Structure 1
Amino acid sequence: GGYNPEGAIKWIDEVEIIFEAMGCTEESKTTLGTYVLREEANVWWRNVKLRIGADGIAIV
């Protein structure tokens, strides 16, 4: 996707709700937040690779 500030704010709000429901400490928030962001990055990268051909050429 592209730049979507509203989507980013919504995502942060949803993560904060999850942290609150789980009773996370600030340290736990850092650990869990890092994991969630890493997983989001992995999903993004897998999607990018699917759109790029074997020769590194974007498939349109």
Structure 2
Amino acid sequence: MKHKPPTFTRGYNPEGAVNWLEEVEIIFEAMGCSEENKVTLGAYVLREEANHWWKNARQRLGAGGAVI
């Protein structure tokens, strides 16, 4: 079975973010994805402003997700 995860491109859009997350979680569950892989695969489908946000957030996180 091939999964085609939705991309998330918008800036501030809480409803869109929740809908995107629900769709991606369904795919992760079907794949039996580990928590670590969820972060990697979730980040892979971020685009435009959402990708810029993730890059910035990742720089501010230390090992284990602790805020620096």
TM-score, normalization by structure 2: 0.48
Cα deviation digits, residues 6-57 of structure 1 (max 9, x gap): 12111111111111111100111011011111xx228xxxxxxxxxxxxxxx
Bigger proportion of residues as helix: 1
- Give the partner amino acid of 1:18: I
- Give the partner amino acid of 1:9: V
1:1-60 correspondence runs (5 A)? 3-37=12-46, 40-41=47-48
Q: Distance in 2 between matches of 1:35 and 1:27?
A: 13
Q: Distance in 2 between matches of 1:10 and 1:26?
A: 19
Counterpart position of 2:7: none
Identity of aligned residues (%): 70
TM-score, normalization by structure 1: 0.53
**How many pairs were matched up?**
41
SS in 1 for 2:36: helix
Query: Structure 1: which 5+ residue stretches go unaligned?
Result: 43-60
- The structure number with the bigger radius of gyration is 1
